[in-house]
């Protein structure tokens, strides 16, 4: 393990010098020699803090005017230097921070290898803190706050089962409690509600001690609430006890009263139904009497109307339509040949039109041919050919070639001219033939048109005759339909009048039958007097009143029994809460004891090495679960608290406690002890007790007393 070996002070608290540390070291010397300065210098070099604080102004007060440094080295040759410098001109204070890992230029770096705990553990300051803070600090160092909420709940389940069902009970006992005695079974069944409360209170990520405190407060509130509810229920029971005997007697007759009330209700219903039946029969009789009078009146009106509506004579005879239809058919037959002849006459006319269209086409073709012939005649190439023929054969080849081209073109032109001349002559012959045919066709078309006009005139006369015949037939049919409609209306009116008389006669018969039936119903229903109906209603009201009283009494008895059951359930729940509180206390004590067992073991070992027979104790909770912090030792059954120890004993005890705490803290393990004033006996015990503690990086004890060579300790004499 790395050990601190050297402390060099330069201007720190006015001191300049080097302190060699060779394992456990005792600094001896008179007051003011610099023992405390060495200890404070070590703390400053490792943490950057002095008793006055960590800010630069407070630190600067521990150095000379021009500044200074404190350097600490370890057995591996590493070192760290802290200090301050002052600028004389500007009176500015600057911090010095150097180490073997970082150069002077990196003054702001903090080397993790030299980092100490976040705050220096001052045992006097620790003992001066509040009970809660000391307790939380101890439990945090011992790892008590790391217990998961699920593990706490499992432990509580086991302890509750043991509190309820005996030391051999387990969690399975709570899950299957059917075989338990009745009183134990009732408390075991309360585990479900208690478990739900615990699950709602226990929070992951929260220290176990805080979870225990919150759960203890919650269960206490539930227990007190159950007690208050039980007392309220018992108070209500006491108020009901004065009337419960009479209520039970009245409630015992509830079934008899219900039977009497049911019989009275049935009798009342029967009487009321019979009375209502009689009243309804009489109302029905009056209605039937009115109905028969109405039916007779309707019958008389129907007969009068029938007498006013005589039966019509025979049905009208339809007109003879056959002769008119035959005449129209004859006329239509005459018109049909005319239409056919008209279609035949249309054919020559259309041929004439087609011949005229063909002549126009040929005339157009002849005009085009004549224009083409005229064009060729106007462009005669004979002069050009005569000119070209005069060109001698000895001319330039290009000119000779041009002459050949002109000759070919002239020949082709004359050939095309002859073709156009032949085409014109052919078209003129065709046009003459078409003109002859057209004259013949036009004559036929004129004759056909004249004949067609005659056919149209004859067809028009026949069409007018057909229209006249049809109109005459439609007039006869309309007159017949009017006579037929009038006859049908008269027949319908007579039929309706006859049916009305029949229906009215039937209604009179039905009304008479209904009147007879209503008279029979009135006779069968009888008649109840009002006194008889009132007597039945009075008997019913009396039975209903007795039933109400008995029902209220039964409600009082039921309320009493429910209150008694509620009081019993709250009493059981209160007992369950008490058992849970005991389980909570047991689990909490087990957790605290398990967590602090190692701490007390280290403390006991140091005291034993010091030659002390006392046994240290640490109590963090009282019997009621309240947070306390009681520290001290016991000697032959006598308990002595830390404040009651003498100065030397307290110094020895606190040094042992500081060692046990430092072993559990993070960072560098450095124990520095101010042993003034400590008597010789306790100083020797302190050195013997801490001497074997070789798991510390530095162990320094400062005292003004003279110390001889002590085994395991290096004695350094500090001179002024």
The share of the chain scoring above pLDDT 70, in percent, equals: 86
Asked whether residue 9 carries a pLDDT value surpassing 90, the answer given is yes
Select from 713, 700, 657, 649 the least CA-distant residue to 677. 649
Query: Is the distance from CB of 542 to CB of 267 less than 8 angstroms?
Result: no
Alpha-carbon gap, residue 44 to 53, rounded angstroms:
10
Nearest to 574 by CA among 240, 238, 234, 239: 234
DSSP 113: G
Indicate the pTM of the whole model: 0.49
pLDDT per position as a tens digit, 387-396: 766 777 777 7
The mean pLDDT of 22-49, rounded to a whole number, is 88
**Token pair belonging to 650:** 């307290």
Dihedral angle sign, alpha carbons of residues 353, 356, 362, 364: negative
State pLDDT tens for residues 106-115: 444 444 445 4
Express each pLDDT in 635-678 by its tens digit. 888 899 888 888 888 888 888 888 888 887 777 788 888 887 78
Only one residue has tokens 């600094």, namely 27
Segment 203-220 shows an average pLDDT of: 80
- Give me the mean pLDDT over the 378-405 stretch: 71
User: Which residues are bridge partners to 634 per DSSP?
Assistant: 615, 639
Signed CA dihedral, 58, 59, 60, 63: sign only: positive
652: nearest Cα among 707, 620, 690, 696: 690
CB 56 within 8 A of CB 95: yes
Handedness of CA 601, 602, 607, 608 (dihedral sign): positive
Kindly give, in sequence order, each residue whose CB lies less than 8 Å from that of residue 111, ignoring residues fewer than 6 positions away. 80, 99, 101, 102
**Residue 453 pLDDT grade (very low, low, confident, very high; cuts 50, 70, 90):** confident
Q: CB-based contacts of 547: which residues, under 8 Å, 6+ apart?
A: 257, 258, 260, 261
Q: How far apart are CA 451 and CA 457, in angstroms?
A: 10
pLDDT tens digits, one per residue of 482-535: 877 887 787 887 787 788 778 878 887 887 888 778 777 767 666 666 666 677
What does the pLDDT read at residue 530?
63
Cα–Cα distance list, 529 to 271, 274, 284, 533 (Å): 11, 12, 20, 7
What phi, psi does 397 have (nearest 5°)?
Answer: -60, -35
CA distances (Å), origin 532, targets 44, 273, 541, 638, 694: 115, 13, 14, 99, 116
Q: Residue 697 pLDDT > 70, yes or no?
A: yes
In the structure, what pLDDT confidence band is assigned to residue 10 with cuts at 50, 70 and 90?
very high
Residue 461 to residues 310, 403, 466, 522, 638: CA-CA distances in angstroms? 51, 84, 9, 90, 160
Distances from the Cα of 414 to the Cαs of 378, 381, 410, 420, 426, in angstroms? 12, 8, 6, 10, 19
As a whole number, mean pLDDT of residues 182-197 equals 82
| Residue 46 near residue 668 (C-beta atoms within 8 A) | yes
Residues linked to residue 74 through DSSP beta bridges, in sequence order: 4
Six token digits for residue 160: 């509750």
* Higher local confidence (pLDDT), 315 or 645: 645
Q: Where are the domains of the chain?
A: 1-121+667-720, 129-240+529-664, 321-505
Cα–Cα distances (Å) from 514 to 30, 277, 282, 293, 296, in that order, read 141, 16, 13, 12, 14
What tens digit of pLDDT does each residue of 572-617 get? 888 888 888 888 878 777 777 777 788 888 888 988 988 888 999 8
How far CA 393 is from CA of 59, 384, 398, 411, 440, in Å, comes to 138, 17, 11, 20, 65
Q: Which helix (H) or strand (E) holds 366?
A: helix 321-378
Q: Is the pLDDT of residue 7 over 90?
A: yes
* pLDDT for the residue 223: 87
Please tell me the distance from the alpha carbon of residue 47 to that of residue 590, in angstroms, as a whole number. Answer: 37
Find out whether 157 and 171 touch, Cβ atoms under 8 Å.
Answer: yes
Mean pLDDT over each residue of the chain, to the nearest integer: 78
Give the fold, CATH level 3, of 1-121+667-720.
Rossmann fold (3.40.50)
- Residue 355 and residue 349: Cα distance in Å, rounded? 10
What is the full DSSP assignment across 9-59? EEEETTEEEEEE--SSEEEE--TTSSHHHHHHHHHHHHHS-BTTBSSHHHH
Closest CA to 231 of 555, 566, 556, 561: 566
Average pLDDT over residues 373-389: 66
Q: The tokens of 193 are what?
A: 């509600």
Instruction: Give the model's pLDDT for residue 109.
Output: 46
CATH number of 321-505: 1.10.287.1490
Three-state SS for 617?
strand
Share of the chain above pLDDT 90, in %: 4
Give the largest Cα separation in the chain, rounded. Answer: 175
């Amino acid at each position: 393990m790395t050990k601190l070996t050297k402390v060099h002070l330069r201007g720190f608290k006015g001191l300049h010098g080097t302190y060699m540390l060779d394992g456990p070291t005792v600094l001896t010397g008179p007051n003011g020699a610099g023992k405390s300065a060495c200890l404070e210098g070590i703390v400053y070099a490792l943490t950057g803090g002095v008793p006055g604080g960590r800010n630069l102004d407070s630190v600067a007060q521990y150095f000379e005017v021009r500044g200074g440094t404190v350097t600490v080295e370890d057995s591996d040759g590493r070192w760290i230097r802290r200090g301050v410098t002052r600028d004389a001109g500007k009176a500015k204070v600057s911090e010095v921070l150097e180490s073997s890992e970082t150069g002077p230029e990196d003054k702001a770096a903090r080397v993790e290898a030299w980092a100490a705990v976040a705050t220096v553990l001052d045992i006097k300051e620790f003992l001066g803190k509040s009970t809660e803070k000391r307790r939380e600090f101890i439990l945090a160092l011992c790892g008590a706050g790391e217990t998961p909420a699920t593990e706490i709940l499992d432990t509580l389940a086991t302890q509750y089962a043991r509190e309820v069902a005996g030391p051999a009970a387990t969690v399975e006992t709570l899950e299957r409690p059917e075989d338990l005695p009745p009183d134990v079974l009732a408390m075991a069944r309360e585990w479900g509600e208690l478990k739900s409360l615990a699950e709602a209170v226990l929070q992951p990520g929260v220290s176990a001690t805080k979870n225990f405190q919150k759960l203890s407060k919650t269960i206490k509130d539930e227990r007190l609430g159950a007690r208050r509810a039980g007392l309220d229920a018992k108070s209500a029971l006491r108020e009901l006890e004065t009337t419960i005997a009479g209520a039970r007697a009245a409630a015992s007759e509830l079934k008899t009263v219900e039977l009497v009330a049911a019989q009275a209700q049935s009798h009342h219903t029967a009487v009321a139904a019979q009375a209502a039946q009689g009243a309804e029969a009489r109302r029905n009789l009056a209605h039937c009497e009115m109905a028969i009078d109405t039916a007779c009146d309707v019958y008389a009106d129907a007969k009068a109307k029938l007498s006013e509506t005589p039966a019509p004579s025979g049905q009208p005879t339809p007109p003879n339509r056959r002769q008119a239809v035959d005449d129209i058919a004859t006329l239509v037959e005459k018109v049909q040949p005319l239409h056919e002849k008209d279609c035949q006459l249309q054919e020559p006319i259309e041929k004439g039109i087609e011949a005229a269209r063909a002549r126009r086409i040929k005339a157009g073709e002849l005009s085009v041919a004549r224009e083409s012939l005229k064009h060729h005649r106007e462009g005669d190439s004979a002069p050009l050919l005569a000119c070209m023929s005069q060109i001698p054969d000895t001319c330039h080849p290009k000119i000779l070639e041009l002459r050949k081209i002109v000759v070919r073109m002239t020949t082709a032109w004359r050939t095309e001219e002859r073709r156009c001349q032949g085409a014109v002559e052919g078209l003129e012959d065709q046009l003459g033939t078409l003109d002859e045919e057209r004259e013949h066709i036009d004559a036929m078309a004129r004759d056909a048109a004249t004949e067609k006009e005659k056919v149209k005139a004859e067809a028009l006369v026949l069409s007018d005759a057909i229209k006249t015949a049809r109109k005459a037939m439609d007039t006869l049919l309309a007159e017949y339909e009017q006579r037929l409609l009038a006859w049908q209306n008269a027949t319908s009116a007579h039929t309706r009048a006859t049916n009305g008389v029949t229906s009215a006669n039937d209604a009179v018969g039905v009304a008479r039958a209904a009147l007879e039936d209503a008279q029979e119903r009135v006779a069968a229903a009888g008649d109840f007097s009002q006194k008889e109906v009132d007597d039945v209603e009075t008997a019913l009201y009396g039975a209903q009143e007795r039933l109400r009283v008995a029902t209220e009494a039964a409600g009082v008895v039921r309320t009493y029994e429910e209150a008694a059951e509620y009081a019993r359930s709250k009493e059981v729940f209160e007992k369950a809460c008490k058992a849970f509180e005991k389980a909570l206390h047991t689990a909490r004590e087990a957790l605290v004891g398990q967590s602090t067992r190692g701490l007390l073991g280290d403390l006991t070992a140091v005291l034993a090495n010091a030659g002390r027979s006392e046994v240290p104790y640490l109590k963090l909770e009282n019997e009621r679960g309240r947070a306390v912090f009681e520290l001290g030792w016991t000697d032959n059954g006598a308990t002595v608290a830390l404040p009651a120890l003498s100065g030397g004993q307290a110094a020895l005890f606190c040094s042992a406690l500081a060692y046990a705490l430092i072993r559990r803290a993070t960072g560098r393990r450095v124990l520095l002890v101010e042993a003034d004033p400590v008597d010789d006996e306790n100083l020797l015990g302190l050195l013997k007790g801490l001497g074997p503690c070789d798991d510390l990086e530095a162990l320094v004890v400062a005292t003004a007393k003279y110390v001889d060579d002590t085994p395991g300790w290096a004695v350094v004499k500090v001179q002024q």
